[in-house]
Amino acid sequence: DTEVTQTPKHLVMGMTNKKSLKCEQHMGHRAMYWYKQKAKKPPELMFVYSYEKLSINESVPSRFSPECPNSSLLNLHLHALQPEDSALYLCASSQAPRATDEKLFFGSGTQLSVL
Amino acid sequence: AQSVTQLGSHVSVSEGALVLLRCNYSSSVPPYLFWYVQYPNQGLQLLLKYTSAATLVKGINGFEAEFKKSETSFHLTKPSAHMSDAAEYFCAVSYRTGKLIFGQGTTLQVKP
């Protein structure tokens, strides 16, 4: 199994809603990532988990709250989002954290619309 | 700071023609470089990576890239374009901290 699975594929939420994005991998990877991608732009790193601990937070607003319950799962909890947060949210994983030549495996993403 | 620049946000080729997507990097030390492809409504998929083992790197789907230190370049090529190659292509460089930084992307259009 070489897949990173993200759910849901599409999400529409209001600015007062609370929702969660989920990501799962069963490749035994020990690093997991959240990226945000606006249309026609490159992915931007948000968070990195290394051995289930948060190792990088790219100064992301607190309305985004990541969680790594175990080595296979990664969540992104959303609360009080703004319309400008609408984007494709990509989860990725890699075998070894902090390995500069590591290949990232990406999920297909969650397309988020904030109304 | 390490960064990558992709020259040309949009490249259009005819089916069967050579594909050339340009990427230049800026780094004070030899970097690790990657090319990723993103098809519509999909995540990113690694095409190939350079990690100093060989300057000419072969990847999936017939793509290859050559690392040229003197030109600080890592251009992606494919001898003959297929319609299925139409996608967004990202060049990326990795930091020692494990952060992967992407270029702005190049949209490849393949005309029949």
Could you tell me how far CA A85 lies from the centroid of its own chain? 13
Per-residue confidence band for B42, with pLDDT thresholds at 50, 70 and 90 = confident
Q: Tell me the C-alpha distance between A92 and A109, whole Å.
A: 9
* Cis geometry, peptide bond prior to residue A66 (ω within 30 degrees of 0): no
Q: Please report the residues numbered 14 through 43 in chain A whose beta carbons come closer than 8 angstroms to any beta carbon of chain B.
A: 31, 40-43
Flag if A56 and B99 touch (Cβ within 8 Å). Answer: yes
Mean pLDDT estimate for chain B: 90
Average pLDDT over residues A34-56: 93
Reply yes or no on whether the pLDDT at B96 is more than 80.
no
Mutate which: A103, A105, A110, A112, vs B, most B CBs within 10 A:
A103
Chain A: closest CA distance from residue B56 (Å): 16
